Amino acid sequence: MSWPRVDYGHTAYEKAVIAGDVYGIRPDPKRAGKRPLNLAIAGCGGVAQAKWLPAIRYLQTRSEPVTIAGFVDVDQASRDKVGALYAAPTFPSLEDLLAAKRPDLVLVLTSDDAHVPVARMAIAAGIPVLVEKPLARSLAAASELCAFAESRGVLIASVANKRFSPPYAMAHALVTEGRLKSPPSLFSGKFTLGYRYVDILEAGTIHLIDLMLWFMGSATAVSALGHCGPDGKLESAVASIAFASGAIGSVVTSAAAMSFKPWERVEIVGRHAMLVVEDQLELVLHDEETGPSKLWRPAIPNTLLFDESFGGYAGLLENVLDAIRGTTALAATGRDGMAAVALVEAIHRSVASRQTVTLDEAPLCDGERA
């Protein structure tokens, strides 16, 4: 029986085992022959340094023709650090960078409040953007940003890195192959954290919400209950969701749990078959009552396992670069980011009103457009 060809975070089998290119780093003329792209990075903090810059190096090491045009950060110490480490010019604002450079893509990795103004400036200059989550702080702002990009004909991509993380990429490929024996009928997701310095829905659970919409399609209604912590902020929430397909789902989330303990679990049921992804690591397909289940799990200390690939950052970035080159479809559009923001807002509204909130004007996930 053949299975989807999703590398489980390690060097591709053909390269590692057949070609003997253990780390997949031998010069690759085909990949090197792609149109070279130059990207700028706005926001040089934690996620830029820990995730995106290593992902860029990962792709460059594998012959991807991508270079760094420059760095922008309002904080001089941050921009000086990365400018020196990555040998690229630094600027205090995107406006200053655009006066000197014309990148092919701007990665918007700033703090949340700056996502829209920074992305808007790049789009106004006709430059594609990849925007960290949340796309915007409100549905209205996300909608305006997407409409602005569309009116200018400029590509807007949203960070949905978990879609490219092997357990979820494999799960999605299995669903697409029909291994659940029907379209997904039920989604169940859990996301927990052990710290309070971020909004649990907007900053954390939004990743799970994006995954849910990717697997299940557009949401039409949400009914949620919430519990506030001692600081008066939403600490835990339970949301029931109806999807346009007729399927249903639930999301359970809490910031009162722990960070270094189990944090994420997804179950997707079809018809007498189900998938389980445990902590974005292990994937199990249960498709026979009495026969064996199928398990995918990486060997963690294996030197062929790459964090940049497992986290989904390298795969997402490669997809955006190829979409700019016009050789592939964009996997996570601005409107996908907007759909996740819409659901975050709807959960907040339902918690506050204790009413079911309908998403009549729910933005369609881009994959569902005719």
- The residue range among 41-49, 96-104, 143-151, 333-341 that interacts with ligand NAD, by the rule CB under 6 A, is 41-49
When binding is defined by CB under 6 A, the residue of 12, 114, 186, 238 that contacts ligand NAD is 114
Q: Which listed residue (6, 37, 41, 42) binds ligand NAD by CB under 6 A?
A: 42
- At 168 the three-state DSSP class reads helix
- Using the minimum distance from each CB to ligand NAD, give the nearer residue, 217 or 337: 337
Q: From its phi and psi, is residue 90 left (phi > 0), alpha (psi between -120 and 50) or beta? A: beta
Choosing from 6, 10, 55, 73, the residue that interacts with ligand NAD (CB under 6 A) is: 73
- Positions in 207-266 near ligand NAD (CB under 6 A): none
With CB under 6 A as the rule, give the number of residues binding ligand NAD: 23
**Residue from 53, 66, 82, 118 binding ligand NAD (CB under 6 A):** 118
- C-alpha–C-alpha distance, residues 171 and 277, integer Å: 8
Give CA 204 to chain center in angstroms: 11
Bond from prior residue into 65 cis (ω within 30 degrees of 0): no
* 142-to-113, 131, 219, 248 alpha-carbon distances in Å: 12, 11, 17, 25
Binding part of the chain for ligand NAD, among 31-39, 68-76, 215-223, 282-290 by CB under 6 A, reads 68-76
Cβ count near 101 (within 10 Å): 15
* Residue 244 beta carbon to ligand NAD: minimum distance, rounded to whole angstroms: 26
Locate 193 and state its tokens.
């954290």
Give the x-and-dash track for 180-209 against ligand NAD (CB under 6 A): -----------------------x------
- Confirm or reject binding of residue 111 to ligand NAD (CB under 6 A): yes
Site membership for ligand NAD, residue 133 (CB under 6 A): yes
Tokens of 42: 């706005």
For tokens 């023709």, what's the residue? 65
Shortest distance, position 168 Cβ to ligand NAD, whole Å: 13
DSSP secondary-structure letter at 98? H
Q: Give ∠ CA 237-243-247 in degrees, rounded to 5.
A: 100
Nearer to ligand NAD, 118 or 122 (CB): 118
Could you say which DSSP state residue 80 is in? H
Q: Are 347 and 222 in contact (CB under 8 A)?
A: yes
The interface region with ligand NAD, picked from 97-105, 107-115, 230-238, 347-355 by CB under 6 A, is 107-115
Q: Contact positions toward ligand NAD, by CB under 6 A?
A: 42-48, 72-75, 78, 109-112, 114, 118, 132-133, 159, 161, 203
